[in-house]
Amino acid sequence: MDADLSNYRRSYEKNELSLSKSPENPFELFRDWFLEVDEHFPEDENNAMTISTLGLDGFPKNRVVLLKRYTYEGFIFYTNYNSEKGRAIQANPNVCLSFFWHGAERQIIIKGKAEKIAENLSDGYFESRPRGSQLGALVSKQSEVVESRAVLENKLKRLEEQFVNKDIPRPDFWGGFMVKPIEFEFWQGRANRLHDRIRYKLDNEYNWVKTRLSP
* 3-state secondary structure (DSSP) of residue 120: helix
Q: Strand 106-116 to strand 196-202: parallel, antiparallel, or no bridges (unpaired)?
A: unpaired
To the query of whether residue 193 is one of the catalytic residues in this protein, the response is yes
Helix, strand and coil percent figures for the chain, each rounded to 5? 30, 30, 40
Cα dihedral across residues 168, 172, 173, 177: positive or negative: positive
Catalytic residue among 31, 106, 193, 199: 193
> What is the SS3 assignment for 62?
strand
Distance CA(168)–CA(133), nearest Å, equals 10
- For residues 114 and 95, the answer to whether their CB atoms sit within 8 Å is yes
Residues noted as catalytic: 193
